[in-house]
Structure 1
Amino acid sequence: MAAVAQNVVNSDDQFTKNCNSPTQNSETDTNKSSDSKSEFQKNINELADILSKLNPWAKEFIPSSFRLKNDQSVQNNFSKRRNTFNQGRRRMNGRSFRAQREESIRRTVYVSDIDQHVTEERLAALFSSCGQVVDCRICGDPHSVLRFAFVEFADEHGARAALSLGGTMLGYYPVRVLPSKTAILPVNPTFLPRSEDEREMCARTVYCTNIDKKVSQLDVKNFFESACGEVSRLRLLGDNVHSTRIAFVEFDIAESAIMALNCSGMILGTQPIRVSPSKTPVRPRLPRPASN
């Protein structure tokens, strides 16, 4: 663009000189004047064409104060739209979760007065006549007839049909069946048994809760070995949020795990522990990769 402008200036100067020179005859002056004007107009047109192609919103044409204000405005508008989108997505996720939970509750029944010798498999078999059972959880002290359970069906029809089984004798006691007010908390599927060997490991494993935080892993192992038998693997877990800890205890034989269920209510440290069959095996910890 600078070269074109310089050509325009040079052509203008040459045109002026030719027009003012007294030594040239009129015909020559006229021709040269015409040529100079034509060249000058051509350069002007080229300059106008170049300028027309420039972007008037390029940085070098916009004052920095205006550009800063405009950039902030664009950024603020983008942030508002992003926040609005995220809030809407969270609301949708919350509504979706509540809807799924309510639908799961409608498919679940609450069963109480369960005989301490009744297993989850036996309870699920009783209700399988009403529909497909997708989950069954027995809770409570295994020594007490006040044990209760939640049974979830594949659809609401199964749950409504299950209400008719109230009063059915199961073991030594008639069970009570009512609509559930809560859904069954799902087990993380990655923790469930993946093979026949892991299912056999579950039969030898118990889940222990309400463990005193001052109790060590060695204390837990010694407690169960003295009362039930040899412990092959133990995982003691806890965090800073909960006041107690939990443990998965795997025994050498399944009979020891059955005996461990009788330890519910016994004091370990300062707390009465709760013991129930484990739905997940205690997998060996993978070695950590060596740091470079």
Structure 2
Amino acid sequence: MAAVAEGSASAAAAAAAKEVEYQAGVQKLVDLLSKLNPAAKEFVPSSAAAGSPPKKALSADAPVFDYHSIGAGNGGTKDSATDASFYIGNQQRKRGNGYINQGRRRAIDRARRADREDSIRRTVYVSELDHTVTEERLADIFATCGQVVDCRICGDPHSVLRFAFIEFSDEEGARTALNLGGTVFGFYPVRVLPSKTAILPVNPKFLPRTEDEKEMVMRTVYCTNIDKMVTLLDVKNFFEGLCGEVSRLRLLGDNVHSTRIAFVEFVHAEGAILALNCSGMILGTLPVRVSPSKTPVKPRVNRVGSN
């Protein structure tokens, strides 16, 4: 019996020792895990100043690290809470600015479409134009229907296949202009229909701004379909031999288009008028197309005679 009692006492002692060891292990684990708490004192920078005033709580989408709780009541710094607020606020501003910019772009696109649609409603399409009809003459005729904002004649100047777009300041002018369909301009009756497109605007920075520039435009023609093998001197000699002295010339081209264009300014306006009759003549290997220019030759062009 005594042996049994001693065995029971040893087992109880061993169990108690294991319990103490287990509790010690649990406490050690708790102490270890407590050090992983971001609010623990060990995570506070050495430059921290105790006693910082509490900050407002973060919003629901705040990061896992509760920086505000650090700064508020656990010896954290004021800078920690401020940095967190700055980070979150900055992210919100970025998202907000993205939405604002996207909305602004959509608003601009809508405004542009509205302007274009309004311009189309104020524009008429005129076809079967005689080669003797000029933009100035056409604009004067249609001005009886309303204020003309812009007038563009397109097509071969020597063909009845020429057509034009005329834009008015209001829709009433465009509707009135439809009544001119069948009117003879030159030698042929024209057709006038509502336009399906707006007139492509000329870049405003190239338009004449002074009286001198307007006078230069009157002496300037726009020439297209120029052979790429033709040089600046070839263009100068071509127009001077038929129309008069050229004061300024600019020849343009690129690797995309198969032909080149030119702006030719004459010394006298009569030269520009004569140059319009050169449309269809062969320059190099191609028939050139000549029309009145809407812009002056830019001052930075090469001097006439240079290549």
TM-score by length of 1: 0.70
Alignment of 1:38-117 (within 5 A): 51-53=51-53, 57=71, 61=76, 75-117=90-132
| Contact kept in structure 1, 2:52 and 2:71, CA below 8 Å | no
Q: Distance in 2 between matches of 1:74 and 1:52?
A: 21
Moved more, 237-246 or 122-131: 237-246
**Residue in 1 that maps onto 2:188:** 173
**Corresponding position: 1:141 with 2:156:** yes
Alignment of 1:127-138 (within 5 A): 127-138=142-153
Moved more, 125-134 or 220-229: 220-229
Give the deviation of 1:148 after TM superposition.
1.0
**Residue in 2 that maps onto 1:8:** none
Can you give the 5+ residue segments of structure 2 that lack an aligned partner in the other structure? 1-49, 56-69, 302-307
Distance 1:228 1:82, change over 3 A: same
Distance 1:84 1:229, change over 3 A: same
Distance 1:129 1:235, change over 3 A: same
Distance 1:83 1:248, change over 3 A: same
1:222 to 229, 232, 237: 237
- In structure 2, what residue type is equivalent to 1:113? E
**Residue in 2 that maps onto 1:182:** 197
Q: Distance in 2 between matches of 1:53 and 1:68?
A: 15
Can you give the 5+ residue segments of structure 1 that lack an aligned partner in the other structure? 1-49, 287-292
* 1:190-227 residue CA offsets vs partner (Å, 9 max, x unmatched): 33333433333222110112334443322322222233
* 1:245-289 residue CA offsets vs partner (Å, 9 max, x unmatched): 322100122222122212223343454332100112224239xxx
2:217 to 197, 202, 207: 202
1:211 to 201, 210, 226: 226
* Matched position secondary structure for 1:118: coil
**Residue in 1 that maps onto 2:273:** 258
* Matched position secondary structure for 1:235: strand
Larger proportion of helix: 1
Q: Distance in 1 between matches of 2:71 and 2:227?
A: 69
Distance 1:196 1:61, change over 3 A: same
* 1:41-84 residue CA offsets vs partner (Å, 9 max, x unmatched): xxxxxxxxx824587649x947x999999876655443332222
| Contact kept in structure 1, 2:71 and 2:81, CA below 8 Å | no
Give the deviation of 1:102 after TM superposition.
0.6
The percent identity for this pair of structures is 69
- In structure 2, what residue type is equivalent to 1:204? R
Q: Distance in 2 between matches of 1:265 and 1:57?
A: 84
Q: Distance in 2 between matches of 1:145 and 1:173?
A: 8
Q: Distance in 2 between matches of 1:220 and 1:125?
A: 33
Number of equivalences = 236
Distance 1:83 1:284, change over 3 A: same
Distance 1:88 1:214, change over 3 A: farther
Q: What is the aligned-residue RMSD (CA, Å)?
A: 3.1
Q: Distance in 1 between matches of 2:156 and 2:191?
A: 17
Moved more, 125-134 or 77-86: 77-86
Give the deviation of 1:168 after TM superposition.
0.7
| Contact kept in structure 1, 2:52 and 2:76, CA below 8 Å | no
| Structure 1 segments of 4+ aligned residues over 4 angstroms from their partners | 52-58, 64-76, 239-243
Q: Distance in 1 between matches of 2:283 and 2:86?
A: 64
Distance 1:65 1:119, change over 3 A: same
Q: Distance in 2 between matches of 1:52 and 1:278?
A: 74
Q: Distance in 2 between matches of 1:170 and 1:97?
A: 35
- In structure 1, what residue type is equivalent to 2:51? L
